Amino acid sequence: MAYDNLLISDREAVRTITINRPDKLNALNRQTLMELAEAMTAAQEDDGVRVIVLTGSGEKAFVAGADIGEIREQTAVEARAFSALGQDLMSRIQASDKPVIAAINGFALGGGMELALGCHLRLASDNARLGLPEIKLGIMPGFGGTQRLLRLAGTTRALEMALTGEPIKAERAEQLGVVNRVVGQDELSSAVAELADQLAKAAPEAVRGILQAINQGAETDLQTGLALETARFALCCATEDMKEGTGAFLEKRTPQFQGK
């Protein structure tokens, strides 16, 4: 499928989706949100894809925010629909049963930070800046930023970032648990590729189970989370990949998981 604002590339079992609006610092307008939703669905339905990487084109920005020009012309009713569209995309990314890695290669502000927060793992270059500057425009985050940042960094830090609108450096984001790792700008692509390859070689049912157990477990009580873990563990043990993994361990060789 051809997209106006996205570039799609595959490398073995890893699909990279690049937001390609460099003249707008990859800002998220309605069309881009809809294209991202379509691209995520396509990646989910492609059995050859095991890992998804999201990034932005150019060297300045991952995504510098939502498209302000578009927001400025919206009525309250249109703004509500725009917020719902963005939230649906971020929730769809978070609910993916294939790992989604954000390769944050520059500014991740507003909707860009919210997009990164929807991903399962986040690697950032040392020149990256992350923030929720909406308050400086007389608005507030609308793509899930208040809720996901709250859950990652806690109430105090979420309030500070959302109320001041000041961006933070990648190193600070790592300290707060907002990004998993910070690497040099020229090392980001290789670091993301290495992580993606590692995840792509894992047993898919085990990956799905971990993603579901942790994502859903974070929103429920301990006993419900434990019951979900038990159910997913049992599903893993019914796969050929389980036999391959345990056999490889006993035979002291590298497992070759087939997703069966």
Catalytic residue annotation: 114, 134
DSSP output for 197-240 = HHHHTS-HHHHHHHHHHHHHHTTS-HHHHHHHHHHHHHHHTTSH
Q: Which residues pair with 181 in a beta bridge?
A: 123
Give the Cα separation of 110 and 66 in Å (integer): 7
The one-character DSSP state at 14 is: E
Among 132, 135, 116, smallest CA distance to 124 is for 116
Give the Cα separation of 194 and 5 in Å (integer): 26
Give the Cα separation of 3 and 42 in Å (integer): 12
